[in-house]
């Protein structure tokens, strides 16, 4: 009987890890403020993880001279980027080491610096890949001329982000729903 209890404990532990993975993302999707980000899709495939689009955002590569806030960063640092919700896309306003005060019509997104910055700073936000049904990758990688791919992102109060929808010319192509 003791072994059965231990087995149940093991199952509970493993399930807890998986539930935490689901719960943290659902929290961001359910409670996060939304902002549209401009993208440049690149490099589409991974043998291990099925079809996915790798997304590169305009806010992934920021010129340090043109952006307010802190400036002394190193590879691996956690950073917070304040974005103003523009008419079309979110615009980066300032870069911080700590979570900054949030102003009206602003959102703060958390990221991590991937290279030692010189004049520009390269940031990863954890929303750089989007899994899509197999065989549909090309439509997003190479949209027809004149089409624009953007991403609707939910950002929670801690700065964590999750993709809510992939938009083509402002229209949702893939949408994430709660469950």
Contacts of 107 (CB under 8 A, 6+ apart): 33, 35, 82, 83, 85, 90, 155
In whole angstroms, the minimum distance from the beta carbon of 134 to other proteins comes to: 7
Which of 66, 98, 146, 177 binds other proteins (CB under 8 A)? It is 177
Binding other proteins (rule: CB under 8 A), the pick from 127, 140, 154, 165 is: 127
Work out whether 80 is an interface residue with other proteins (CB under 8 A).
Answer: no
Q: Which of 123, 130, 165, 167 binds other proteins (CB under 8 A)?
A: 130
Our finding on whether 31 is near other proteins (CB under 8 A) is no
- Which residue is associated with the tokens 């490099």? 43
Contact between residue 127 and residue 154 where contact means Cβ atoms under 8 Å apart: no
- Residues 166 and 143: their CA atoms lie apart, in Å, by 13
Cβ neighbours for 76, distance < 8 A, ≥ 6 positions apart: 112, 113
List 38, 70, 77, 128, residue binding other proteins (CB under 8 A) = 128
Between CA 152 and CA 90 the distance in angstroms is 10
CB of 78 to other proteins, least distance (A): 14
**Residues making contact with other proteins (CB under 8 A):** 1, 3-4, 6-11, 13-15, 17-18, 21-22, 25-26, 48-50, 52, 124-131, 133-134, 162-163, 176-177, 179
């Amino acid at each position: 009987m003791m072994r059965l209890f231990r087995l149940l404990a093991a199952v509970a532990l493993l399930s807890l890890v998986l539930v935490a993975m689901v719960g943290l993302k659902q929290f961001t999707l359910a409670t996060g403020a939304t902002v549209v980000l401009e993208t440049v899709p690149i490099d589409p495939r991974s043998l291990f993880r099925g079809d996915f689009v790798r997304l590169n955002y305009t806010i992934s590569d920021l010129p340090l001279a043109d952006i307010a806030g802190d400036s002394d960063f190193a590879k691996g640092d956690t950073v917070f980027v304040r974005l103003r919700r523009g008419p079309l896309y979110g615009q980066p306003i300032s870069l911080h080491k700590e979570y900054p005060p949030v102003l009206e019509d602003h959102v703060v997104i958390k990221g991590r610096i991937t290279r030692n910055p010189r004049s520009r700073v390269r940031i990863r936000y954890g929303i750089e890949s989007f899994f899509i049904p197999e065989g549909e990758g090309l439509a997003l990688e190479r949209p027809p001329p004149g089409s624009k791919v953007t991403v609707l992102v939910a950002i929670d109060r801690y700065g964590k982000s999750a993709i809510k929808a992939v938009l083509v010319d402002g229209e949702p192509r893939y949408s994430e729903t709660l469950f």
